[in-house]
Amino acid sequence: MAAALAACTSGPPPGFAGGTGDRWAFPLVGALESDLLITAVTIDGRGPYLFAIDPDANVSIIDEQLVKEISLRTRKGPHRLDENDTQHPRFYAEVIALELGSLIIERRDAMIVKPNTLDANGRRIYGMLGKDILADSLVFGFDRDQGLAYLTTVKAFKPPPDAFAIKYDTLPSRVPNAQVLPTPRRLVRATIGAEPFTLHLDLGAAASQLRESLWERAKLGRQDVQTAVIDEVGIPRRITAAGVGGPVNVGAASAEKLAFVPYGDQRWNEHEIDGTLGLDFFRDYSVWLDWDARTYHLAKRKPVPVEVRIDRWDMGALAKCKSPGCVTVRLVDPLAGKPVDPARPHPGLVLSVTREEVAGGMGLEVVLEAKDRPELPRLAVNMSPNADRVMQHLKSEWIGATLVVVDATPYPRQCPADDGCVDLLAR
């Protein structure tokens, strides 16, 4: 019986097609950000639409607006248990075919949530890919420098030669009378500063979390914030404080400083789990999660040419342009060649980003980086399909900077202006 169970975890789940049959790749949106993993999917031939990725969601999620837009069949299904240990009635939509990069997935039911529930960082996110797609018989991985996420069968997976392993223990849910139990937590022993904690490794959340009662022991510095976290059932929790500290270490993996928000998942006992490490902990690594071996494989990130990263989109316009990202970038100093009045502050610079004609008519986000100036944030330039140029005032701290394109995507953030906007991104 044990041999039969092992055999059935070695192949792809039912309904998987495309790719090589045992390996699939799909591009990430906002790949260089230490934030949610987001990709583009096609639903029943419509789209593409942006979906987040969460290995802790035991079923995929879809936005109610999208369900109505593409007229998906719906039905009432099992209740779901949120982080407050509360059951919620839920409806589900039948997806006949979901296309994810080179992968085609047939017939999945997705849990319906209210419109805009999953939106994040200025992006309209229409759903979330969960464990019905990121199945136990697969290995899930992502490489932010390549701008790609991966699924591969356990049999076909080979860790990179420079990767190191982090073993984890599973903590199953013991909640009584729940129609659907939450997915088991993947626990490791971590240190924050010099103090040990038991933490869940969470690839579906940007921020790490720690029970607020433990902040003093972890020597976290308290800061006021205004944000929210969304659990895998689609229920938001308001956050008004964060604790900053570190370094944080798990085996050979480390992060110098992390901001922890309060851990509030009431489905797990306090003596079993202290919090989570989110994607911010993994910001310096490429990651592969092998459920079958209960192992994370991590490798230090390696820079790649910007052309390689942009080529992940396999789009004609982005490949035909003369310049990376299909834009020309200029920083204009209004005082160039003029004497500077020491009694008056410098007025700053004007950033001008002009689109190449071959890339006209498409939404475009280009990420700029100040070469050899790591203290400056990256700039995300978002252009609507009808915008040929975006201009933005920059402070005088940008004087002398050389801006280079480090990424481009055909899925820009939503902007209040008709033509486009410029956003600051942490590096």
Structure tokens at 130: 């969960």
Type of residue found at 413: R
How far is the C-alpha of 22 from the C-alpha of 157, rounded, in Å? 9
Q: DSSP character for 68?
A: H
Radius of gyration of the chain, Cα coordinates, nearest whole angstrom = 23
Q: Are 17 and 98 in contact (CB under 8 A)?
A: no
How many residues are present in the chain? 427
List Cα–Cα distances, 281 to 34, 248, 253, 258, in angstroms: 9, 8, 9, 7
Domains detected in the chain:
6-153 (2.40.70.10), 165-284 (2.40.70.10), 306-425 (no CATH)
Q: Splitting the chain (427 residues) into consecutive groups of 10 residues, what average pLDDT does each group show?
A: 43 78 92 95 94 95 97 95 91 95 91 95 95 93 97 94 97 87 95 97 96 97 93 91 96 96 93 97 97 97 94 82 93 81 84 92 94 94 92 92 95 86 88
Q: Are 121 and 30 in contact (CB under 8 A)?
A: yes
Q: Are 64 and 140 in contact (CB under 8 A)?
A: no
Residue in 57, 53, 25, 19 with CA at minimum distance from that of residue 39: 53
95 — alpha (psi -120 to 50), left (phi > 0) or beta?
beta
- How far is residue 37 CA from its own chain's centroid? 2
395 phi and psi angles, rounded to 5 deg:
-70, 165
Output b/e per residue, 19-49; b: 16+ Cβ within 10 A: beebbbbbbbbbbbbbbbbbbbbebeeebeb
pLDDT at residue 8 in the model: 45
How far is the C-alpha of 51 from the C-alpha of 39, rounded, in Å? 6
pLDDT at residue 343 in the model: 78
376 — alpha (psi -120 to 50), left (phi > 0) or beta?
beta
Q: Are 101 and 39 in contact (CB under 8 A)?
A: yes
How far is the C-alpha of 291 from the C-alpha of 407, rounded, in Å? 31
Q: Are 404 and 371 in contact (CB under 8 A)?
A: yes
If one counts every other C-beta atom within 10 angstroms of the C-beta of residue 57, the result is: 25
If one counts every other C-beta atom within 10 angstroms of the C-beta of residue 293, the result is: 15
Q: Are 423 and 413 in contact (CB under 8 A)?
A: yes
